[in-house]
Structure 1
Amino acid sequence: MTKIMQPIMRRVMVHIVRPAIGRWLCAVCLAVSALFVLSAHADEPPKTMIRAHLEPAGNVVAGTQVKLVVDVLTTTWLTDAPDWPLFDMPGAIVTLPDEQARNLSEMIGDERWFGVSRAYRIAPQAGQRYTVPSFVIHVLPGGATGPVALHTPSLSFVATVPPGAEGMAVFFPTSGLSVSQKIEPSPSHLQVGDTITRTITQRATATESILIPPAPLKEVDGLQRYMRPAQTSDDLQGSRGLVAGVRTDSAMYVVNRSGHIELPAIEIEWWNTTAHRREHVSLPAISLSARGAHETPLFEIPVDAVGRAAHRVIVLDRSDLWIAGAGLALVFALVWLGPRLLSAARRTRQHVAVWRRTMTTGEPHAWRQLMHAARGRSWPAFVGALYAWLDRRTDASSGLTMDGSEDMVALRSAVYARYAPGASHEAPVDPQLAQRLKVVRTQMIRASRRSSTSDDLPPLYAPVPPHRPSRRSPN
């Protein structure tokens, strides 16, 4: 039996056991070699790379967007999202939209690279050359001992402006712009320590809100400024797409001193893309008047004066005292000047009534009627106006016979000639009569003034000079 089983066992060992042992030994060798390879790769840090380019790559028009596309790559994987910092560019607006990063998987050479890509948006606001500064992005690739700092390359581009826009501090192109401001709370009653907020809202037609430049909310003497984050929104209406962009800038001011304070006027300059010219929007200045609040009371009511009530303190500001004093002075002035002002008003009203009556029915009115009749063709109307004027003069009681001057004689002769027997009344009035009438009126006025001064009677009881005895020389 043993002799029979030995050849069988030998065949089993050759065909079954030996191949199994061989396959097991092969697997062990492969595993060991893989461990050696992995340990060798584990000692090498992962490779990283950063790329950046501009879209578009050539010159651009100021006010339009330029994309800065940044790619972050590694040979392993990224354990966390890179930090995407914002950077400053003088004369341009830089933003990083909240867009989802684009995943990358590329063959570069003989290696597979993985990473992410994001795009910054740059809006140049003047015609000049711009340089995108180099900035650092920190990444954490798989297999690395710590974060890796990657530096972006420095790039540049040129922005141009249309003819007529040269020299603009900020080139802001849009087809329409409306600007409004709001002051909260009302600036009428302010004290030192109070706050006031100035809000400027700009609405640009068919323009993204990120392209609207910030409103110039400057520092103000007497106020401490605290800028608030700007708010931007785009008005999108269905099929019409972008209707307008809205940007709201606001600053909170803290009153530091009392007196008059002025928030300066704001002027916003923009380029009208429809009319191809500069436009300006001006916002008026805001005047503030602040009062000082003192902690030390000027008048105090003691506790004993109010019994068991709580301690009361009356605080009067210096400006309140000035206002109270001015009010009292105004009251006393009205009490003292009131009757005098009323009497003066009554006299003025009487003088105005007399002057109005004189101008409508007195000598000036009759004189105007006479001058109008002298330019006419009706002798009866002229003579009637002449006698009406003489009736209204207090110094013409003798009529046409009162004066023997040459002008009066000529005037009297002309009137008598028209009323002589057989005289015609159809001839026009002589134009020289108006000139003679003016001379006669002047003479009457002068004569009236002389008579008013010469007719004054001497005082009835003239003072008698004191008697002084004469000195006689002794004999």
Structure 2
Amino acid sequence: MTSRWSLRLCAIVLLCISITSSFAQDAPRLKVRVHLEPSGTVVAGSDVKLIVECLTTTFFTDAPDWPLFNVPGAFVVFPDEQAQNLHESIDGVEWFGVSRAYRIVPQAAGTLSIPAFPISVHPGGSTSPVTLTTPALKLAATVPAGAEGMRVFFPTPKLSATQTITPSLHDLKAGGSLTRSIMQVAAGTESMLIPPVEFGEVEGLKRYAKPSATKNVIQDRAGLVAGERADSVTYVIDRSGSFKLPPVTIEWWNIATQKRESIVLPAVSFTALAAKERPLFDIPADALSNGGAHRILVIDRWQAILVASLLILVLALIWVYPRLATRFRRLSQAMLDARKGHANGAGPAWRALRLAARKGSLKSAIPLLYRWMDRSPELKHPARVDELNSPGEPQLDGLFSAVHGHYSGQLEVTTDWRESEKALNRVMKQKRKLSKAKSPLPPLNKY
């Protein structure tokens, strides 16, 4: 009986050891890999990708917590690309993971240090997040010949800069303030890549920097047109006297001419008067000491009424003037917007198309046809000539053939414009009727 219980106890102990070893073998293994693309020396101002790969032998229950780190002398941002899933076999072991790319843009020549940074991952089989640490890397950047010594290497096809000073420099006093703003516009360049402006210190003025404002100018067909960056600083005047804000020099690299260029914004000089308080009623001292003759002023009732009426009228004008001025400005702006909207509408575009088609060649009228379609609210944008096709208007077939022939390189394309004009009018009337009959609200359930 004792030996039987001993055998059972040994079997239970062996079973527990086997279960424990199996759980130990199934514990997830983790690793992190990083590399640069491209891996060699790069030119400052160009994009470099830091590829980070997190791998495990099981699976990830959630996306890793990707941090954003800093690299001195470079911009670091997440690109628009999404994370990618990985599946590899390493030394006979199946690994699963995810990779993400960081975008690094060096701003000057030299060796940049990419620091090690932690990443929290959530592997399957683990009850809590696990932290992986990336290795530190080095990134070597160089600049073209002639760009040595630039504080920040900023390549762009074209750069312009303007400065504004507010308020006016004529009425500044001690204790007041003025703001210096500099706007940079770089053609074909993202706004985040435009370097900030360095404002100098001025004795007697306290400098307070404001947050910069950036904006990308994007057009539908052209894409990124330019980037804009506005840097502002406010100076508080501590004392009276003459002051001079130093000139601002902005260096940049012209990628069209492959030359180093600079923009110099001029210095700003001004004078601040002393802040002096005066009493509301200032009685001359000699009048008090010598004792001037007493005079009695008598004001009758009608004079008092007239003065009071004038005072009320002046106060009423002061009270109503801002409101009248605001309404006048709004009315003027509305009229200007309406005039611009009419000038850029479909009506003027249609008249220009009809005049060109009747007097000139069809070759010069085809671009005006597309401009009219782009400005017509009944048509989709960007415009396509096939959208004008209507089964009941065979007169438009010649116009479509002429347009396709024009863009396919045929030397001469002709069509009967007057018939095409009448057919276009009928088609647009049908589309306007359909647009009015269509409900402005989308269907609640389109399936």
The normalised TM-score by structure 2 is 0.50
Task: Check whether the contact 1:235–1:245 (CA below 8 A) recurs between aligned residues.
Answer: yes
* Mapped partners of 2:234, 2:184: distance in 1: 18
* Aligned residues of 2:206 and 2:237 also touching (Cα < 8 A): yes
Amino acid at match of 2:69: L
Residues 1:71 and 2:53 aligned together? yes
Relative to structure 1, the CA distance from residue 97 to residue 194 in structure 2 (aligned partners, 3 Å threshold; closer, same or farther) is: farther
Task: Tell me the residue number matched to 1:85.
Answer: 68
Conserved in 2, the CA contact under 8 Å of 1:175 and 1:206?
yes
Report if the CA contact (8 A) 2:71-2:112 is conserved. no
Change (3 A) 1:70 1:181: farther
Q: CA deviation at 1:257?
A: 4.3
Cα deviation for residue 64 of structure 1 reads 1.2
Aligned equivalent of 2:223: 241
Q: Paired residue for 1:227?
A: 209
Per-residue CA deviation, residues 131-173 of structure 1 (Å, 9 max, x unaligned), is 3222333445455455433322222232222222222222222
Query: Is 1:182 aligned to 2:164, yes or no?
Result: yes
User: Residue 65 of structure 2: SS of its match in structure 1?
Assistant: coil
Q: What pairs up with 1:228-377 in 2 under 5 angstroms?
A: 228-290=210-272, 299=279
Q: Are residue 132 (structure 1) and residue 85 (structure 2) matched?
A: no
Contact 2:111 2:139 in 1 (8 A): yes
Larger deviation: 237-246 or 207-216? 237-246
Distance 1:41 1:95, change over 3 A: same
Q: 1:80 to 1:118 in 2, by over 3 A?
A: closer
Counterpart-to-counterpart distance in 2, 1:115 and 1:195: 56
Q: Aligned partner of 2:212: which letter?
A: A
Aligned-partner residue type, residue 278 of structure 1: R
Determine the structure 1 residue equivalent to 2:340: none
Instruction: Please give the per-residue CA displacement for 1:173-220, whole angstroms capped at 9, x wherever unaligned.
Output: 222111112233334444555454332221122223333222223444
What is the deviation of 1:279? 1.2
Q: CA, structure 1 residues 248+95, in 2 after alignment: closer, same or farther (shift >3 Å)?
A: farther
Q: How does 1:395-474 map to 2 (within 5 A)?
A: none
Question: Kindly tell me: are residues 38 and 250 of structure 1, through their superposed partners in 2, closer, same or farther at Cα, counting changes over 3 Å?
Answer: farther
In the alignment, structure 2 segments of 5+ residues that lack a partner are 1-14, 283-447
Larger Rg: 1
* Alignment partners' CA distance in 2, 1:104 and 1:255: 60
Residues 1:173 and 1:111: Cα distance change in structure 2 (over 3 Å): same
CA distance in 2, matches of 1:299, 1:222: 28
Q: Provide the alpha-carbon RMSD of the alignment.
A: 3.7
CA distance in 2 between counterparts of 1:40 and 1:187 reads: 81
CA deviations 1:260-284 (Å, max 9, x no partner) are 3332210011122222222110111
The question of whether the paired residues in 1 share the 8 Å contact of 2:246 and 2:267 is answered with yes
Identify if the C-alpha distance between structure 1 residues 244 and 38 changes in structure 2 by more than 3 Å, giving closer, same or farther. farther
Contact 1:85–1:137 under 8 Å retained in 2: no
What's the offset of the Cα at 1:104?
4.2
- Counterpart secondary structure, 1:129: strand
Aligned length: 267
Query: In the superposition, relative to structure 1, how do residues 200 and 147 fare at CA in structure 2: closer, same or farther (>3 Å)?
Result: farther
Displacement of 1:240 in angstroms is 3.2
Equivalent residue of 2:46, what SS? coil
Distance (whole Å) between structure 2 residues aligned to residue 285 and residue 38 of structure 1: 77
Query: In 2, Cα distance between the equivalents of 1:230 and 1:42?
Result: 54
The aligned counterpart of 2:312 is none
State the distance in 2 between where 1:112 and 1:191 align. Answer: 74
Runs of 5+ consecutive residues of structure 1 not aligned to the other structure? 1-32, 303-475
Q: TM-score, normalised by structure 1?
A: 0.48
SS in 2 for 1:167: coil
Residue type matched to 2:70 in 1? F
User: Structure 1's 164 and 260: CA in aligned 2 closer, same or farther, altered over 3 A?
Assistant: same
Aligned to 2:199: 217
Q: Residues of 2 paired with 1:188 and 1:147: CA distance?
A: 63
